[in-house]
């Protein structure tokens, strides 16, 4: 018997043995098993998918840190996770504060498992619209760069967008309301 055919026959026999040894009945659902065929002098490894590897939801990720919150999308708009503003950046800047780095460090693992995401950079309504869009993008880039260099995320999985002042969380109604403006300066995480 040639070696490839022997390996396939061994795999079929091994899989049949696993099923036969299973206490599951036909009415029960059985998790699939994966068989890695050994080379000569190696041991076979059998692994079932780990339920703990499920993709975390935004709510689960946000629950890990008080500086995160979930913002429910309106209509067709997806939900997003908001990194609260006073933690992120000094006014008018895109340099991450130490508190922001701690928050990112706390959620990097979950974000790695979450798959592709978009980072939306937001600003308050002070300043020119074009400046605010560019500032929002620089803020989203700062978060992306940290997640890639320190958090282990794949840059190809992250899209950045500068939103600027266009989508405020809190209306200032033209008043000099620094607390409301601060809440509008943020980066939102949207799972794709």
DSSP, collapsed to helix, strand or coil, labels residue 35 as strand
Question: According to the model, what pLDDT value does residue 162 have?
Answer: 97
For residues 94, 181, 187, 75, the Cα torsion angle rounded to the nearest 10 degrees is: -150
The segment with the largest mean pLDDT, out of 26-40, 88-102, 155-169, is: 155-169
Question: What is the mean pLDDT of the segment spanning 149-172?
Answer: 91
Q: Are residues 162 and 143 located together in one domain of the fold?
A: yes
For the chain, the average pLDDT equals: 73
Q: Are residues 11 and 100 located together in one domain of the fold?
A: no
119/100 Cα distance (integer angstroms): 14
Number of domains in the chain: 2
Neighbouring CB atoms inside 10 A of 104's CB total 23
Neighbouring CB atoms inside 10 A of 12's CB total 11
Output DSSP code: residue 76. T
Question: According to the model, what pLDDT value does residue 129 have?
Answer: 95
Q: Are residues 132 and 157 located together in one domain of the fold?
A: yes
Q: Are residues 87 and 180 located together in one domain of the fold?
A: yes
Q: Are residues 104 and 158 located together in one domain of the fold?
A: yes
Question: According to the model, what pLDDT value does residue 159 have?
Answer: 96
Predicted confidence (pLDDT) per residue in 31-90, tens digit: 444 444 445 555 545 455 554 456 777 778 777 767 677 777 777 777 777 766 555 777
Pairing of strands 186-191, 158-164: unpaired
DSSP, collapsed to helix, strand or coil, labels residue 87 as helix
Query: Where in the sequence is the domain holding 129, given as residue range(s)?
Result: 53-191
Q: Are residues 78 and 151 located together in one domain of the fold?
A: yes
Question: According to the model, what pLDDT value does residue 61 have?
Answer: 76
Q: Are residues 93 and 138 located together in one domain of the fold?
A: yes
Q: For residue 156, what are the contacts with CB-CB under 8 A and spacing of at least 6?
A: none
Q: Are residues 79 and 156 located together in one domain of the fold?
A: yes
The two structure tokens encoding residue 125: 């309504």
84/88 Cα distance (integer angstroms): 7
Query: Smallest Cα–Cα separation from 150: which of 186, 191, 100?
Result: 100
Query: Smallest Cα–Cα separation from 79: which of 68, 90, 65?
Result: 68
Q: Are residues 17 and 99 located together in one domain of the fold?
A: no
């Amino acid at each position: 018997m040639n070696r490839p055919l022997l390996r396939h026959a061994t795999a079929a026999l091994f899989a049949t043995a696993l099923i036969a040894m299973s206490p599951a009945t036909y009415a029960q659902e059985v998790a699939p098993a994966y068989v890695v065929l050994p080379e000569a002098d190696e041991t076979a490894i059998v692994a079932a998918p780990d339920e703990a590897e499920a993709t975390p939801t935004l709510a689960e990720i946000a629950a890990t840190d008080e500086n995160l919150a979930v913002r429910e999308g309106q209509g067709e708009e997806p939900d997003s996770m908001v990194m609260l503003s006073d933690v992120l950046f000094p006014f008018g800047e895109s340099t991450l504060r130490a508190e922001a780095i701690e928050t990112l460090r706390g959620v990097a693992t979950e974000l790695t498992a979450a798959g592709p995401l978009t980072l939306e950079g937001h600003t308050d309504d002070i300043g020119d619209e074009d400046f605010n869009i560019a500032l929002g993008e620089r803020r989203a880039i700062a978060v992306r760069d940290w997640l890639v260099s320190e958090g282990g995320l794949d840059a190809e999985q992250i899209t950045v967008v500068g939103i600027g002042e266009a989508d405020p969380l809190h209306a200032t109604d033209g008043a000099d309301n620094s607390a409301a403006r601060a809440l509008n300066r943020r980066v939102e995480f949207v799972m794709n």
